[in-house]
Amino acid sequence: MAYATSEIALGTQAPDFALLDTVSGRLFSLRDVAGSKATVIMFTCNHCPYVQHILDKVVEVAKEYQQKGVGFVAISANDATIQPEDRPSEMKALAQERGFTFPYLYDQTQQVARTYQAVCTPEFFAFDANKRLAYHGQFDSSRPKSHILVTGQDLTSALDALLKGQQPSQEQQPAVGCGIKWKHPY
The single-letter code of the amino acid at 43 is: F
51 within domain boundaries: yes
The CATH number of residue 99's host domain is: 3.40.30.10
Q: For CA atoms 160, 8, 102, 39, give the dihedral sign.
A: positive
33, part of any domain = yes
- Total structural domains within the chain: 1
- For 99-140, where are the alpha helices, taking DSSP H only? 111-116
Q: Using a pLDDT cut of 90, give the percent of the chain over it.
A: 94
pLDDT above 90 for 3: no
Model confidence pLDDT, tens digit, residues 129-184: 999 999 999 999 999 999 999 999 999 999 999 999 999 999 999 999 999 999 98
Residue 186, domain member (yes or no) = no
pTM: 0.95
Q: 9 lies in a domain?
A: yes
Q: What does the pLDDT read at residue 184?
A: 80
172 to each of 20, 137, 150, how far by Cα in Å?
Answer: 30, 6, 17
Q: What is the pLDDT of residues 64-88, one digit of tens each?
A: 999 999 999 999 999 999 999 999 9
Residue 32 lies in a domain: yes
Asked whether residue 184 is domain-assigned, the answer is no
What mean pLDDT is predicted for residues 50-70?
Answer: 98
Task: Give the whole-angstrom CA distance, residue 150 versus residue 142.
Answer: 5
Structural domain span for residue 140? 2-179
